Structure 1
Amino acid sequence: MQLTTFLSAATAIVATASARSAVDLNKSCDQKQPLARIINRCDYPVYLWSVFKGDGCPTDQMVTLKKGETYSENYQDPQNGVGISIKVSKSEKCKSNDIVQLEYFLETTKPGFSYNYLDVSYVDCQDGGCPTKNEGYYLQAGNQTGKVSASATNTWCPILSCTDAASCAKISYINPDDVQTKTCDLDQNTNFYMCGGEAPDEDYSSAPAASSKQAEYSAPAPTSTKASAPTLNLKVDVAAVTKAPAVKEVEKQQDAKTKTQVEVVYVTAFEYVNAKRHAHGHARRHQPFHA
């Protein structure tokens, strides 16, 4: 009986996870509510899936994003302790070696740590041919006014800009044990402009929406990135491509004492004990986002 109950519960979890659809999320997105938006400025179409960790890329849940089109989804709560990965590929086949991921995790259960933890990941871009890896990107979290302006370290409500593989590596996840998670308020949008490190010169909020197209399914192969006993390095490298907006000294002090510490504590919490011992398994710091 216990086994039957366990299997039933597991089946229900899988069914719930599999029900997630980028097509539906894009269609139903309320532009007046907090959201993640991807704008394709590349000279080629891209293919997009929005999933929880371990879901793979279902065949009927792919969105095609042509040049000039946008994909938007209202922020979704974590499931079973993992956040959202919006996977983007040049291929209609969702593989584990040619995608860039915009990832976010809404933390709402820990007082004092309730923020949106976000990043751009090239962990599953092993062949280097994924979108933006060589063309760069521009990301803005928050509306850049008042307390949601980018911090001096660019870890709080950041403006991230890169133009090639080298500069993108300074502000994105390349290896699972990197420290490139940023934070912003839960009610602030995240805009990810693909291809080109320059700020947008037009308002993309009313740009054409993405179209859906059934994708050919290719189950992602398990990734195995073996980390070699890293030390606890809490330094965040920031590309010197785009200068962060100026902030008041009071805000800088507040950021240094609170928000930056929040990000660091959260990122290292999963393997805090092992990190102190410089043990293996440090890559779990990226697991809430990596899907």
Structure 2
Amino acid sequence: MFFSNVVISSILAAAATALPRRARDSSNSGSVQIVNNFDTDIYVWSTSAESGSMQTINSGGGTYSENWQTNPNGGGISIKMSTSESQDSVLQFEYTLDSDKLFWDLSSINMDSSSEFVKSGFAAIPSDSSCSTATCEPGDSNCAQSYQHPDDVNTLSCSTDAQYTLTLG
């Protein structure tokens, strides 16, 4: 009995090693880190086909990180940030993976001009220096580097390997 169990286990192990393996997809190795330099906590929801659970980024340097995700319905991902738990007046970091490219933008469409994000400013900087950055200076309620209207053209692209830092304040 023991011998037959050992033989069967050996056969199964040999068969498993002979099966084709899916190569690790290294094209999605990038990520975004959000740094909260505000004096108030920030609430974050990563949204694809459905809104993810709320995360809190503590004030005074707290961080939130997300590896690039794909949306099951083929659309993009929106990381919504707010100073309230009710998703009022949100700044959005939006991205879509397309092969080895990441298309991304910042959106202020659903953000009040009196928002802490406007008062303190924000900047998204990729680790790849050949890629564009987006910076909105403190007080700039009509920042040209963040979507203000749905028909704005502010989508940027970079390699999916790039690491992004989105600094708030």
> 5 Å matches for 1:276-291?
none
When residues 73 and 92 of structure 1 are mapped into structure 2, their CA distance, relative to the original with a 3 A threshold, is same
String of CA shifts for 1:211-245, please: whole Å, max 9, x gaps.
Answer: xxxxxxxxxxxxxxxxxxxxxxxxxxxxxxxxxxx
CA spacing shift, 1:175–1:124, aligned 2, 3 Å: same
8 Å contact kept, 1:44–1:66: yes
TM-score, with structure 2 as normaliser: 0.75
2:107 is matched with: 121
Rg larger for: 2
Runs ≥4 residues deviating over 6 A: none
Q: Where does residue 137 of structure 1 map in the other structure?
A: 122
Larger strand percent: 2
Which digits, 9 at most, give the CA deviation of each residue in 1:160-210, with x for residues without a partner? 222134376210001010000000001111110011xxxxxxxxxxxxxxx
Report whether the alignment pairs 1:171 with 2:145: yes
Match of residue 58 from structure 2: 66
Give the aligned residue type for 1:42. F
How big is the shift at 1:136?
A: 0.9
Any stretches of 5+ residues in structure 1 without a counterpart?
Answer: 1-32, 109-113, 150-156, 196-291
What is the alpha-carbon root mean square deviation over aligned residues? 1.8
8 Å Cα contact 2:134-2:146 kept in structure 1 = no
Separation of aligned partners in 2, 1:136 and 1:167: 9
- The answer (yes or no) to whether the contact 1:88–1:131 under 8 Å persists in 2 is no
Contact 1:46 1:64 in 2 (8 A): yes
Q: Size of the alignment, in residue pairs?
A: 140
Give the distance between the partners of 2:68 and 2:128, measured in 1 at CA.
16
Partner of 2:33: 37
Between Structure 1 and Structure 2, the one with more helix by share is: 1
Q: Which runs of 5+ in 2 are unaligned?
A: 1-28
Measured at CA, do residues 185 and 124 of structure 1 come closer, stay the same or move farther in structure 2, by a change above 3 Å?
same
- Provide the identity percentage: 33
Separation (CA, whole Å) in 2 of partners of 1:163 and 1:123: 17
Q: Who is 1:103 aligned against? A: 94
Instruction: Give the drift of 1:74.
Output: 0.7
Report the equivalent of 1:47.
43
TM-score, length-normalised on structure 1?
A: 0.45
What is the SS of the residue equivalent to 1:133?
helix
- Describe the SS at the equivalent of 2:140: helix
Letter in 2 for 1:105: T
Are the aligned partners of 1:99 and 1:131 in contact in 2 as well (CA < 8 Å)?
Answer: no
Q: CA deviation at 1:141?
A: 1.5
Secondary structure of the corresponding residue to residue 147 of structure 2:
coil
Q: Which aligned pairs between 1:197-236 and structure 2 lie closer than 5 A? A: none
Q: 1:167 to 1:99 in 2, by over 3 A?
A: closer
- Inter-partner Cα distance in structure 2 for 1:158 and 1:93: 32
Secondary structure in structure 2 of the residue aligned to 1:134? helix
